[in-house]
Amino acid sequence: MLGIIKQKARCGVFPSSTVGQTLQRVRLSLFALRNYSTAPKEMTVREALNSALDEEMSADPKVFLMGEEVGEYQGAYKISKGLLEKYGPDRVFDTPITEAGFTGIGVGAAYYGLRPVIEFMTFNFSMQAIDHIINSAAKSNYMSAGQISVPIVFRGPNGAAAGVGAQHSQCYAAWYGSCPGLKVLAPYSSGDARGLLKAAIRDPDPVVFLENELLYGESFPVSAEALDSSFCLPIGKAKIEQEGKDVTITAFSKMVGYSLQAADILAKEGISAEVINLRSIRPLDRSTINASVRKTNRLVTVEEGFPQHGVGAEICASVIEESFGYLDAPVERIAGADVPMPYAANLERMAVPQVEDIVRAAKRACYRSAPMAATA
């Protein structure tokens, strides 16, 4: 392997920037040969987002960041740490508490060629600005017949955190995902976060970027490729986190982690689960999901939001439309409870999907469990 890589490098097949990476990989593999354990570089989601913002802002002077507490406070969740010092108050704006106002300002700036990144302290606050996100941003390219494009990114934490009550815990993936004209992304790992945020900032259309507060502090290994400043993930492609052959589990954001844990538990019981990280809610990667279901013949969709009209409902409909003949069992939908998020800790745990719920659903789909009534 070493010889082949050296040969390729001499032939100039790899562009020079990747030679360094290749050599690094070679070094790593050498270490592996010598049985040294070198951990691949780990990065928290927070660092990933921060580095992505940093790199995009330095690459393009039209990119600016606007939101509450993004400057002097270093970001309400410290995502924009250090950016004010580096880029100054002309590019990192602390706003007053006027979501409708500053979202509108961002959209207007985007109409005229700037590339704003608007941060909502949580996506719940985006409801105060939703008129601008949908009516001013999402619909503009269509209404103007292509004359006005809106290269804006709306980002912030989405979904439930810990004990923050009903008004801070809603998941907006389904709401924004139903709106034509918007692209909706939901990263899981640090690599996802970096690649998708960079893609979003470079994208000429409005992108709703749904992060998750509880994932900010989690570390994931990142490949050297992901650390490169031109690293971009494609929008609209899901990732198969783990291959399997018995049941397909689709999830996004935090639920991907839960699904992977569930897949481990299922593996011990002889069920091999294929876990798909959706990454992109709109456009939804129907072809990957359908290909997977045609392989495994069973589907479990997992999401944190409310069940009715949720992401799982759309996936279910898509699969039934395109792969009905391949389904061996009804599609199982796991979603949050159909109630506003309660505050009490035990009720909150019941209102959000847990790993056991995913395991039970997968088993039901594989006809390996007791009837549903007994497990309720």
Pick between residue 19 and residue 342 the one whose CB is nearest to another protein: 342
Whose tokens are 């495994």? That residue is 296
The least distance separating another protein from the CB of residue 229, rounded to whole angstroms, comes to: 30
The least distance separating another protein from the CB of residue 222, rounded to whole angstroms, comes to: 28
Cα four-point dihedral sign 45, 49, 54, 59:
positive
Catalytic residue (one of 55, 56, 68, 99): 99
Is residue 99 among the annotated active site residues? yes
Cα atoms found within 13 Å of the Cα of residue 318, Cβ hemisphere only:
21
Catalytic residue (one of 168, 211, 314, 332): 168
Q: CA-CA distance, 55 to 228, in Å (whole number)?
A: 10
**Which residues make up the interface to another protein (CB under 8 A)?**
68-69, 72-73, 76, 94-98, 100-101, 124-125, 128, 161-168, 337-340, 342-347, 350-351
Q: CA-CA distance, 200 to 194, in Å (whole number)?
A: 10
Pick between residue 16 and residue 346 the one whose CB is nearest to another protein: 346
Residue 207 in contact with residue 152, Cβ under 8 Å?
A: yes
The least distance separating another protein from the CB of residue 369, rounded to whole angstroms, comes to: 21
Pick between residue 234 and residue 340 the one whose CB is nearest to another protein: 340
The least distance separating another protein from the CB of residue 344, rounded to whole angstroms, comes to: 3
Q: CA-CA distance, 5 to 8, in Å (whole number)?
A: 5
Pick between residue 124 and residue 301 the one whose CB is nearest to another protein: 124
Residue 262 in contact with residue 312, Cβ under 8 Å?
A: no
What's the full length of the chain, in residues?
Answer: 376
Residue 132, class by beta-carbon neighbours within 10 Å (0-12 exposed, 13-18 middle, 19+ buried)? buried
H or E, element range at 373? helix 372-375
The least distance separating another protein from the CB of residue 100, rounded to whole angstroms, comes to: 6
The least distance separating another protein from the CB of residue 188, rounded to whole angstroms, comes to: 24
Residue 170 in contact with residue 341, Cβ under 8 Å?
A: yes
Pick between residue 283 and residue 340 the one whose CB is nearest to another protein: 340
Pick between residue 145 and residue 376 the one whose CB is nearest to another protein: 376
Q: How many CB atoms lie within 10 A of CB 13?
A: 11
SS3 per residue for 250-317: EECCHHHHHHHHHHHHHHHCCCCEEEEECCEEECCCHHHHHHHHHHHCCEEEECCCCCCCCHHHHHHH
Query: Active-site positions?
Result: 99, 168
